[in-house]
Amino acid sequence: MTAIKLTLLTIILSILSACGSSGSDDNSSGIDANMGGTPNVQSSLLEWPIDCVPGDGKCLARIGYPDINIDGVAHDCNLPGYVGHQGTDIVITEQAMLDGTAVLAASAGTVRWVFDGKFDQCPSGHPDCQVPSDDWFVPGQSNGTRVCTPEIECSNGSFGCFYCFDGGNVVVIEHPDNPDVHATRYDHLKTNSIVVSPGDIVSAGDKIAEAASAGRSTAPHLHFEVWDTGFYELADPWVGTCGPNTNKQFWKNDPPWASSQG
Ligand SMILES: [Zn+2]
């Protein structure tokens, strides 16, 4: 496989599954983030990526969980956000969107990609809310809900890989000092709310943008993705008997939105 072209689309997910089987299922790698004892271990854990708590009147109680192994079952044995959902959807109220709800860096790192300027109250008839065809992938360009990175070096050293996201306004942060998380992705951001630029250094908890409903979105929410071993190498940060992650802790707190002193 040369250029990896992926979106939120389930169809494309199937391709990922087929192409990426050798790199999947790394949750059994034996890295135990709960061991404690060294500062590095603590820094690998993720903080809650939005400034609200499920059920607090800003965040809805319901969370749309990932289904990265595409079996239609989330980590908690209930329905995921939808079959093949690649991230965690944290839904906010319309009022919370209008008031401004901060999206926060989940871990320290360097901002890699920023896409802004798309209309942010989808769904609607706005052109920025239109989902392009399943085969539209053009590096460095955007079309409707979809934005694509320029071509970069692939993990195998060849050139010409790029990545497409259906999140409209999107930020991707790389975490070079985090041994367990390569990058995190934040979708559906409010137009012109992004306060970081590519190359910026961020700390965990830093505000990077505000949540809204840009891109392929049916209601205001943050779509938060965890990539563990490389770009678009999806990980499920939620431990559970029905998901692909049965033992590896990704979150700093339990529940993830609990304050750090808790
Ligand atoms: Zn989502």
What is the C-alpha separation between 43 and 239, in angstroms, rounded? 19
Q: Extract the tokens encoding 77.
A: 């044995």
What is the C-alpha separation between 14 and 18, in angstroms, rounded? 6
Say if 164 falls within a structural domain.
no
* CA 90 to ligand 1 centroid distance, Å: 8
* CA 225 to ligand 1 centroid distance, Å: 8
Q: Is the pLDDT of residue 39 over 90?
A: no
* CA 197 to ligand 1 centroid distance, Å: 23
Count of structural domains within the chain:
1
* CA 195 to ligand 1 centroid distance, Å: 22
* CA 31 to ligand 1 centroid distance, Å: 27
Q: Look up the pTM and report it.
A: 0.84
Above pLDDT 90, what percent of the chain?
81
Domain carrying residue 217: 45-136+169-235
Torsions phi, psi for 65 (to 5 deg):
-85, 160
Say if 262 falls within a structural domain.
no
* CA 32 to ligand 1 centroid distance, Å: 27
* CA 203 to ligand 1 centroid distance, Å: 24
Lowest model confidence (mean pLDDT) among 7-21, 74-88, 96-110, 160-174: 7-21
96-129 confidence digits (pLDDT tens): 999 999 999 999 999 999 999 999 999 999 999 9
Whichever domain contains 69, its CATH number is 2.70.70.10
192-215 confidence digits (pLDDT tens): 999 999 999 999 999 999 999 999
Residue 148 vs residues 43, 86, 174, 223: alpha-carbon distances, Å: 30, 17, 17, 17
Question: Residue 186: its pLDDT value, please?
Answer: 98
What is the C-alpha separation between 116 and 216, in angstroms, rounded? 14
* CA 80 to ligand 1 centroid distance, Å: 10
Q: Is the pLDDT of residue 185 over 60?
A: yes
* CA 207 to ligand 1 centroid distance, Å: 20
* CA 158 to ligand 1 centroid distance, Å: 30
Question: Residue 208: its pLDDT value, please?
Answer: 98
Q: Which of 79, 106, 7 is nearest to 243 (CA)?
A: 79
